[in-house]
Amino acid sequence: MLKKFQIINSEFKNIRIDKWLKINFSLINQSYIEKNLRKGNIKVNNKKIQSKYRLQLEDEIKIYNYSDDIFLNQPSIKKKKLIPSKYDDLFNSHIIYENDNFIILDKWSGIATQGGSKINISVDDIIKGKSEKYNLVHRLDRETSGLLIIAKDLETTKYFGRLFKNHLIQKIYIAICQGNPKNTESTINILIPDKKNPDKKSNSSTKYKVIQTNNKVSNIIYNPLTGKTHQLRIVSKHLGCPIIGDTKYNNQNKYKFEKLKLNAHLLKFEFDKNTYEFTSKIPEHFIIFFKKNNLKKISSNDLKTIL
């Protein structure tokens, strides 16, 4: 019997196919998985894959020899992580909009969106503590502050997934960079290495505009037209003006003790025939840096020039 599944939960993005199978079907073991992947009884997007294949959102898994006896659909119950009250309070205080379908969080710098081996508490942990139905629909780096969308149900998760996939969400980031780009306004198309496999690269496209420069520091707004890991940080380095506070892509020492000066500042999209637009509150460490370096605070008129 053929059974189909689709990956729509961001919790399963980048998880290995063998791990996904073990999570969802408690009776099967690794040797059974390897055997059926090899025979093509389990495929992803109609292709034979290896157990190390990492799932992506919208991937379709087909199990051709499915039976309720073997593929016992009894997912292991994930123990909820105990969330300290200070994180719950921080989360609640950074919600800038909420309705029955989604939450807009103005994420603070220093918290990861998803868990990992060196991460104690993430935004994903916090929202799962509120409801197992809540899902992240995109991510921000741990040190990047700004707007994050959280879907409250499966349908909304799928809806935002389609918006991101079809580039129907407008996003603007603000960044303070070390150095001055050659051109004050342009669109940059470069290859971005895959996070898991650096030898694999994919196309990225980013619009940018320099709002002000002073003392070899640039105030830049970015409009990413694609959504690759570390895209804006890599583009900034490519332009010869890495983002201040970026310990991975900025090897200059002058501002090495500064927090990352990257903020996911504006989101605009349509939902249920209504247009929504949100802006992040510029972090205090940005404002202090603006004043120290005689840079002006970016205005709403500045943002409109790049949309």
User: What pLDDT is recorded for position 79?
Assistant: 63
Q: What pTM does this model have?
A: 0.76
Does the annotation mark 88 as catalytic? no
Q: Are 176 and 294 in contact (CB under 8 A)?
A: no
User: Phi and psi at residue 26, in whole multiples of 5°?
Assistant: -70, -20
User: What pLDDT is recorded for position 8?
Assistant: 85
User: What pLDDT is recorded for position 77?
Assistant: 52
Pick the closest to residue 170 from 106, 266, 97, 275 (CA basis): 266
Task: Indicate which residue of 141, 153, 199, 272 is catalytic.
Answer: 141
The shares of helix, strand and coil residues in the chain, as percent rounded to the nearest 5, are: 25, 30, 45
Provide the edge-to-edge strand list for the sheet that holds 47-48.
Answer: 3-6, 60-63, 42-44, 47-48
User: What pLDDT is recorded for position 16?
Assistant: 93
**pLDDT beneath 50: ranges in the chain:** none
Q: Are 106 and 94 in contact (CB under 8 A)?
A: yes
User: What pLDDT is recorded for position 104?
Assistant: 98
User: Phi and psi at residue 302, in whole multiples of 5°?
Assistant: -60, -40
User: What pLDDT is recorded for position 117?
Assistant: 65
Pick the closest to residue 193 from 137, 235, 160 (CA basis): 235
User: What pLDDT is recorded for position 120?
Assistant: 84
User: What pLDDT is recorded for position 11?
Assistant: 75
Write down the domain spans for the chain. Answer: 3-63, 85-164, 170-304
Domain at 170-304, CATH class? alpha beta
Check if 85-164 and 170-304 are the same fold: yes
Label each residue of 160-218 as H, E or C: HHHHHHCCCCEEEEEEEEECCCCCCEEEEEEEEECCCCCCCEEEEEEEEEEEEEECCEE
CATH superfamily of 85-164: Pseudouridine synthase (3.30.2350.10)
Q: Is the domain covering 3-63 a CATH 3.20.20.370 domain? A: no
User: What pLDDT is recorded for position 268?
Assistant: 96
Do β-strands 262-271 and 145-151 pair in parallel, antiparallel, or remain unpaired? parallel
User: What pLDDT is recorded for position 28?
Assistant: 87
